[in-house]
Amino acid sequence: MTVAHRKYDYLFTGTKRFTANTRSRLERSLGRALFGYRGGHAAIRLAVRSATQELRAGGVADAEILVILAAVVEDAGRACRADRSSLLSGTPIWEPVQARVVEEAARELAN
């Protein structure tokens, strides 16, 4: 059995419920965003879309889906020390990433 190396695996605790493809996509896109890589909006959108669809297919309520995805970002942000305050806004660095994820999930749930 081959085990794929996942670069941001150590950050995530709440992604085991997803399929391997969605989990990898979600961890990679969020990990890059939390470490400050620019761009990646499309990658986050696609990863959140897949995660939202899987959760919804699993019978999770729409409101709970938003809570789950927000918690994934917050936990990963704290794990990678992105909980320090931004110099410009004064909020933790992971909050804009979380807002983007929740916005994308809400958009997907509205469809």
DSSP string covering 33-57: HHTT-S--HHHHHHHHHHHHHHHHH
How far apart are alpha carbons 35 and 89 in whole angstroms? 17
How far apart are alpha carbons 23 and 20 in whole angstroms? 5
How far, in Å, CA of 100 to CA of 47, rounded?
12
Q: What is the pTM of this model?
A: 0.87
Beta-ladder partners of 85 = 92
Number of Cβ within a 10 Å radius of residue 71: 13
Q: Is the pLDDT of residue 3 over 70?
A: no
Q: Where are the domains of the chain?
A: 19-110
Is the pLDDT assigned to residue 19 strictly greater than 90? yes
Percent of the chain scoring above 70 in pLDDT: 92
Residue 1 has pLDDT above 70, yes or no: no
Instruction: Supply the angle between the helices 94-110 and 20-34 in degrees, to the nearest 10.
Output: 140
